[in-house]
Structure 1
Amino acid sequence: MTNRRSERLLNLLIMLLVQRRFVSKARIREILYPGQSEDAFERMFDRDKEELRSLGVPVEVGTLDSYFDDEVGYRIRMDEFALPEISLSADEAAVVGLAGKVWQHATLAEATTEALRKLAAAKVPVDVAALDIVEPHISVDEPAFDAFWQATQERRAVVFSYRRPGSEEPTTRHLQPWGVVRYSGRWYAVGLDTDRGAERVFRLSRIVGAARLVGQPGAYEIPEGTDIRGIATRLAPPPQAEVATVLLRAGTGHGLRRMAVSTVEGVPGPDGLTPWDRVQVLGNAGVLADEVLAQGADACVEAPESLRHEVRDRLTALVAGGAG
């Protein structure tokens, strides 16, 4: 069954995105939070706004009437939310990637349909074309994303096997997830490591097999004022740009080609059947791995070895996740 809070967040995202003017708090309460008391509505609405903002959604506050500033409204400006297709920074990619992941996520398809139905029933004009900006731009999924996203929404603990850098054998870890965030081109789960009693970040691509939700919903609370992105920035390895050499099938890999510092056309390729180009690209390792994996059989990493291992490990994790 679709998680109610996930559905409500989608409702709020859609409602504020498709409106050209600010939407009053009273209107939002009437349509999206019916039957809630004033105090309950304020708590839920504040928490939902902050969760959208933590995902990188620019929820804007403004006055409904330029002559009277006593009533405020909310909206999401398309020109601020729609990020450029070219030269995405790591932070920009995080916004588009996570919004797109939520939008495309199969288990939330029912919530998306229900959100549009509710808004239409309430006679809220919905411009579906405005939703095109949240189509996913990061096409490589992490198998563990589903479990951690669901656990965050339901406040349930997660048990998983995790392979640390330089370690051959994974260890069992226990986490109360506070959120999932994309940083430095990689997905991280942020939360309380109950084995160590401290906040930790775990890179989803290093999770081996399936992550399991344990315990009852509502088992813990996220500490007030928690900054998911700030924790990831502080605890995760800092981004490092590097030069990589990638073979691309001719006519493919446009995202990587936009990052190119040099290109040699017509070189021998791994299949010996079609023309290939040797492209040197400069970028963060996680972003480069995303781009390479998105090309499937049309891309092959020649160097550095660390990027080859990154791509191999991500593919191994995908296979293991599918098997689990």
Structure 2
Amino acid sequence: MTRPTARVLALLEILQSGGTRTVAELAQRLGVDERTVRRYVVHLTDLDIPVRSVRGRYGGYRLAPGYRMPPLMLTDEEALAVLLGLIAGRRAGLATSSVVAAESAAAKMRRTLPEALGRRLDALLENVEFTQRPLPSAAPETTVLLLLAEAARDRRPVAIDYTAADGRRTERVLHPYGIVAHSGRWYVTGADSVSGETRTFRLDRVTAPRLLAGAFDPPDGFEPADHVLSGLARIPYRHEISLRVQGTADEVAAAFPPGIATVHAIADDGWVGVRMRAERLDWVPGLLAGLGLPFVVEGPDALRTLVRALADRLAAAAG
């Protein structure tokens, strides 16, 4: 929380204690000048908080009689939904209001929560990373998400039951390095006791997590989001797509959304190879058209057909 936001909330708390407070008193208690106090009061009134100005020698500010911030009675799921909505919306650039307003709302809600739930939500917000690529979601259980986030923060091993895509269930111990939200799904990545490797697991397939005794240290420089995205790019899908795109490897890689494609050097000067995997091809022509770079579809043939069809529709629309 930024210092100005904290002081605005502190001003509200002082006013809620009752009585009329002079500008000089408020300035001294908040550690700011009187002009800043007046600016903070404007911010509170913009949030529809009824701050009244009292004129005269003993004037100042007070709240309207009988006003009190209503208590928030939220379940774990409701609190998680509100906080994640505020954070994700701001990080995705969707919030059009000021950053201070968003932080103020989050801070107000955070202060009303029970201490234990507040600590768990703090752990989640400290460890989650967003790739900002919205798709239909597959939500995990709130208790699973919060417990694994807490374990990642505190470097605690966790025993989990996991159901794979083929329905096979296993029990394993995980050293969670971090939580990643990507394409509408949540993932945890870390050292897996069954495979002996660093693995990524979908949280909606995790059940019955249990914190274990002990501690661990993640590898130096480990980036959970990078590991999840690179792992997802290698998963087999129905369609294997091969392209040649004109440009440098860095330029081409930056033109694709994270985790969609792998870029590799080829012999042709000025061109690089691109590999993609997809369950459906209908969305790929639009993505390629938006690259802004010359490209050649090497396969599959079905993709070439779809690209030609899109080109015909665009030409007809332009005509």
TM exceeding 0.5: no
Question: TM-score band, normalised by the shorter chain?
Answer: 0.3 to 0.5
